[in-house]
Structure formats: structure tokens, C-alpha cells
Amino acid sequence: MTREDFSAPTKRAIAMRSGYRCAHPECEGRTTIGPAVDADKSENTGKASHIFSASDRGPRGQGNLSPEDLRSVANGLWLCAKHADQVDLNDGKDYPPPVLLGWKAVHEFKIAREHGAMLNPFGWIESLKIVDAPIFKPAQQISFANANVLVGGNGVGKTTLCEWLSCLAGSAALSRWGAYSEDNARHSDIEVEFEIRAPTRQRAVLKVISGKPSITLDGKAFPFSPIGYEVVTLLSAREVQASWEEGDHIYIAKRLNIDAIEAQALTDFIASDQGVFLKGAAWEDVQDEDAEKPVRQLRCNLMKNFTQLFRTLSGGETGAVLLDLAVARATILSTYRPTLLIVETSAISMDPVFLSQFLEALSSPLVPFQSIFVTTELDEEAAWGGWQIIRLDRQNSEGTEIALG
Ligand SMILES: [Zn+2]
């Protein structure tokens, strides 16, 4: 049996990334260092726990990681003594690696914010609590990381959660909930609470009662969200009825839910060092022989150093270009406002290797906006490390239950 223990410098890096505070959500960031009885000594009660096991017979398996990876800072989670013991109990079955990776992502995100390094000062959504609402079992709460994936079958409420989150940016998302509908039967009363850091902690309560929406912020009610908040979405072609006939600028505008001028300016803005797949682009007006008038088309400079017309790309490549544009937009917005990127994975139809490049880029604690990917099934071959997995599941008539991991 071999063990891949952390070196002393690795342990220290894990502790420092964690602010020497326990990353278990129950501890709410309690410190693990402090004064010792001896006046010139300090005490450390924290431990660097392995996310994937140090030993090949360890509780959580080694997830095909190399010995170097198992010994790396990325595989360490800083916990207080109590929680370090707790996660290894029962062979670690209650705490699989995705759960621990989720805690680490959330905790390091908070520490990075508090530390203030390179992150935008404008805040993010910390949690959402369902007080009472259709579809969901009442009194449930989700804490969000910087990168989150909502997983669940059709009709469990994934879109619903995204619509509620979108209400912080505008009320349009409430139309499906019968807001101001004349049909009383469509009214669904909703009460959802958000904890927002903007940058101080604020509590926003979204209510729709008998078709009338309101947002209460720190005890004061408003007809719409007065918080400067941005939601960047990438919509499926079918959902927005995007077609190529009107030109690529109209197509991109519809998929990104922006106007055609912004779509063109945004693609012109993409520089060669940006984007995972898209490294630059130029607009062309192409006159087909049998067409009445020219059609505006986008020529894309792509990752592998070649250019291709946007409309001739494969489905996955089209998704990659659109996701690069959505990320560029979210990056710009997040400099001035809290920003959330919402992406339905079905709208980008990428293979796992391709998708993983985006997942790795977006899960960095230095990304200045939050992301939520929405999917019916988690593609296990894609790199979800650092992503908080939020599962929605409905077993019975009590409503959808939310679980992490
Ligand atoms: Zn703890």
C-alpha cells in the first residue's frame, strides 16, 4: 500500500488558500489557528485532508489521479480537526470527492473575495432559500459557488431556479409564474430569499402573491429589483428561433439575448489572447448568386489557427464560439456589476473534451462572475472538478429536493 502524503509546503499552501479556516460549510469559515497557552506560541488545529485518497485503499478512491496530482495542493481541503475526522468516517462514503471539491470551491471563492485579490468588488449571490414555491419542497437552501452545475431530469425546476435568479436583473422572467396574468388559475405564489454580497451582505426577498411581484431589500419592498445585477444567458437556437437567413449578427444576437449592434461590436472586440476557441473575428457581407441581397456573415479565427465562416462550423464549435462570446460579455459586465452566467448545456452541444476546457477556465476562483450550467445529466467524462454539483430530484409529491454532490 502506498500513500501520497502532502509535503509540509503543500499543507501550508492548502491552509493559506483556505485562510487557515475550516472549509466545511457547517463551520462557516471558523479559524483553525490562534494563540496557544504559552504567550509566545500559536496553535494550529486544522488539517489538510485528501479529496481523492492518499492511499490506494483509501476511503474516496484515487479517481485515476497520478501520484503528483494526489500530492498536489489541488487535492487538499483544509478542515478543522473535528471535520477532518468526520469526512473520513464510514470509509468516507458520506463525503465523495465532488462534495469536497464543491466545499473547496465555495470556500476558496469566499476567501478570495474577502482577501480582495483581483476580484471585482461588486458581489455575488451567496445563497437562495425557497420559503414557499411551487415544484419545490419548502424550506430548502442552496449555497452557490463561483461555478455551479444544476443537474436534474425534465420538470424538476432547473429553469424555475434560473428564472428566480434572473429576477434580480429584471422581472421579465416572472411571466411564466403568472405575474399580472388575467388568468387567476396561472397565479402561483412564490417566496424566495436571496443572500447577496454586494459587497456587504444583503437579503433580497422575491415574492409573487396573487400575481403581484415584489422584491424586498433589507426590509424595504420594491416593484422590481433595484440592485444593479446582470444575467448573461446563452439560449438554444430552437428556443429563440434563430436562423441563418437574416445574417450571423441577428443569429448571435438572438442566441445571446442582446441586440444586433452589440453582437457585432462584441465579436469585433474579441482579441487573439481571449476566448478558449474564438481568437478573433471579422464581418463580411456575402452576396449569393441567387439571393436578393447580401447576407452578413462572421469569419472566425479559431483556436487551431485557421479561419472559418461561423455558419459552417459544427454544432459543438458553434456552441464554443457563442460561449466564448457570452464569457467575454460576462467578464466586461462583472467589472462594474455582479454578474451571473447561465448556460443550458443542451444549447452548446459540446463533446466532453471540448467542454472541459471551458469548465476548467470558468471554475478558477479568479473568474470575476458566477456561472450556472444547467443539464439533465452530468457528462461524467467532462472535467467538473471545482464545480459545485447541485442535484434536483423529485421522488414524491412533496416536491423537488435539492442536494449537493
Ligand atoms: Zn470545521
Domain chopping of the chain, boundaries: 8-95, 124-229+337-404, 237-334
Place of cell 494526489: 70
Q: Give me ligand 1 centre to Cα 124, in Å.
A: 24
- More confidently predicted of 68 and 101: 68
HEC letters along 175-201: HHHCCCCCCHHHCCCEEEEEEEECCCE
Q: Give me ligand 1 centre to Cα 361, in Å.
A: 29
State the chain's mean pLDDT as an integer: 88
In CATH terms, the fold of domain 124-229+337-404 is Rossmann fold (3.40.50)
The pocket of ion ligand 1, defined by CB under 5 A, consists of 22, 24, 27, 80, 83
Q: What is the pLDDT of residue 146?
A: 82
Q: Give me ligand 1 centre to Cα 263, in Å.
A: 47
Q: Which of 202-206, 271-275, 324-328 has the lowest mean pLDDT?
A: 271-275
Name the grid cell of 85: 475526522
Q: Which of 107-111, 130-134, 143-147, 182-186 has the lowest mean pLDDT?
A: 182-186
Q: What percent helix, strand, coil does the chain show, rounded to 5?
A: 30, 30, 40
Q: What is the pLDDT of residue 285?
A: 94
Q: Give me ligand 1 centre to Cα 141, in Å.
A: 20
Q: 281-326: per-residue pLDDT in tens? A: 999 999 888 888 899 999 999 988 899 999 999 999 999 999 999 9
Residues with Cβ within 8 Å of 74's Cβ and at least 6 positions away in sequence, in order, are 385
Does pLDDT of 21 surpass 70?
yes
Name the grid cell of 153: 431530469
Q: Give me ligand 1 centre to Cα 296, in Å.
A: 57
Q: Give me ligand 1 centre to Cα 64, in Å.
A: 28
**CB-based burial of residue 288 (10 Å sphere; 0-12 exposed, 13-18 middle, 19+ buried)?**
exposed
Q: Give me ligand 1 centre to Cα 31, in Å.
A: 9
Name the grid cell of 387: 464545480
Alpha helices (H) in 227-351, listed in sequence order: 237-240, 248-256, 260-269, 315-334
Q: What is the pLDDT of residue 93?
A: 78
Does pLDDT of 74 surpass 90?
no
Q: Give me ligand 1 centre to Cα 149, in Å.
A: 25
Does pLDDT of 86 surpass 90?
yes
Q: 95-138: per-residue pLDDT in tens? A: 888 778 778 877 887 888 788 654 555 677 888 999 998 899 99
Q: What is the pLDDT of residue 122?
A: 61
Q: Give me ligand 1 centre to Cα 89, in Å.
A: 14
Q: Which of 48-52, 112-116, 181-185 has the lowest mean pLDDT?
A: 181-185
Q: What confidence category does residue 56 fall into, taking pLDDT thresholds of 50, 70 and 90?
A: confident
Q: Give me ligand 1 centre to Cα 44, in Å.
A: 13
Q: Give me ligand 1 centre to Cα 84, in Å.
A: 7
Q: How much of the chain, in percent, has pLDDT values that exceed 70?
A: 96
Global pTM reads: 0.77
